[in-house]
Copies of this chain bind each other. A is one copy, B any other.
Amino acid sequence: MSSEHPIGRRPGDPEVTRAAVLDAARSMFAEHGFEKATIRAIAAEASVDPALVLHYFGSKDKLFVSAHQLPFSPEDVESAIFDSDLDGLGERIARFYLSALAVPGSPAVSLLRATATHEEAAEMLRTFIDLTLMGPGLETVPGPDRRFRMSLVASHLLGVLFGRLILGIPELAESDLEDIIRPLATTFQRYLTDQI
């Protein structure tokens, strides 16, 4: 069984091919983690030769980075979460992050999975948290320990994502997302605005 396409440039828009590679990369990284998502498998999923992947992205590391641009901008988060009074803050955080990220194949899950074995992915995820949760909007949270409080929030979010999408704890994986958001909202509100 030889390749699908003849050698040489194919007609049409190359951007389509490039996008297909990125899609395949995201899906493979999300499902298998960094090392087990092989360039060969990604290329196959995109119906493309492995060498083309490297032609576009240079190396597997760079491909990973390219495939994990933020799904939303830090400004989106700021306005969705912090641009209101403190009262509903916990709920807004829980709802925004879980509904955006707690879906199979989400780049966040891919990042989370790869984080476990790939320091570059860990760095990216730390940056993501820093830019979105620890950004300027955090200033509205009172107290000198606001970063620590927010890190408790982050840890719970991470744990839910991990337990639901990677580990597959049944009670987390099969519950309606709203049922998870509710108790988390209360916890987050307490972490951010109450005595802890």
At the interface, yes or no: A166 with Cβ under 8 Å from chain B? Answer: yes
28 contacts between A and B (CB under 8 A): A33-B117, A35-B36, A35-B117, A115-B116, A115-B167, A122-B166, A122-B167, A125-B167, A126-B169, A129-B169, A148-B179, A150-B171, A152-B184, A154-B163, A154-B169, A154-B172, A155-B159, A155-B169, A156-B156, A156-B159, A157-B159, A158-B159, A158-B163, A158-B167, A159-B162, A182-B196, A186-B196, A187-B187
Contact of A116 among B33, B159, B163 (CB under 8 A): B33
What CA separation (Å) do A148 and B154 show in the bound complex?
20
Q: Which chain B residue lies CB-closest to A146?
A: B171
List residues of chain B with CB within 8 A of the CB of A35.
Answer: 35-36, 117
Q: How far is the CB of A30 from chain B (nearest CB, A)?
A: 11
Contact check, A175 vs B148: say whether CB atoms are below 8 A apart.
yes
Per DSSP, chain A at the interface is helix
Contact of A183 among B126, B167, B171, B191 (CB under 8 A): B191
Contact check, B115 vs A117: say whether CB atoms are below 8 A apart.
no
Q: Size of chain A's interface in residues, with CB distance under 8 A? A: 47
List residues of chain B with CB within 8 A of the CB of A28.
Answer: none
Q: Which chain B residue lies CB-closest to A111?
A: B167
At the interface, yes or no: A112 with Cβ under 8 Å from chain B? Answer: yes
Contact check, A147 vs B126: say whether CB atoms are below 8 A apart.
no
At the interface, yes or no: A32 with Cβ under 8 Å from chain B? Answer: yes
Contact check, A158 vs B154: say whether CB atoms are below 8 A apart.
no
List residues of chain B with CB within 8 A of the CB of A171.
Answer: 147-148, 150-151
What CA separation (Å) do A158 and B160 show in the bound complex?
8
At the interface, yes or no: A142 with Cβ under 8 Å from chain B? Answer: no
What CA separation (Å) do A179 and B190 show in the bound complex?
15
